[in-house]
Amino acid sequence: MFSFENIYTASDRIKDVIHVTPVMTSSYIDSLCDMNVYFKCEHLQKTGSFKARGALNAITHSSGNFGQALAWAAKSHNIPCVVVAPNNAPMSKLNAMRDYGANVVLCEPKDREMVCNNLRDTGLHTEMVDPFDDYRVMAGQVIYHFIK
């Protein structure tokens, strides 16, 4: 279940390994929207996206940012990492995953979940975490200091 407690716990767990990124505002954008709009500069985060926040303790499928974030998180904790990626993923993303130490397993795009499940079933990896729909990933990606 997704809850404020999950957000706090995830934030506390990752606070020593991620950047505290700035929050910016724009009076021009505020006037266009007729409300206050805040921009969290997660492009300054490790791996260049907010995905680093939710990438701890996972095996996943990804063609980009989450795979890169998972590889970074694993390297930060000196643990092995496997990212299942579609064979049509951008080479720059695949190279970035490998540069962080990931073992990148390529497959047909339609087979990503099956390949992840097969790897998980070998017992060599933890559990499959969906990069989009997993509450643990969502809790890690919410910026606690931004909502408190």
The C-alpha angle with vertex 81 and arms to 71 and 130, in degrees rounded to 5, equals 75
User: Is residue 51 flagged as an active site residue?
Assistant: yes
Residue 141 near residue 50 (C-beta atoms within 8 A)? yes
Q: Which of 11, 49, 62, 63 is catalytic?
A: 63
Q: Which of 49, 51, 62, 93 is catalytic?
A: 51
For residue 22, CA distances in Å to 17, 38, 65, 90, 134 come to 16, 10, 20, 29, 26
- Token pair, residue 82, equals 């496997």
User: Is residue 75 flagged as an active site residue?
Assistant: no
Q: Which residues have a catalytic role annotated?
A: 51, 63
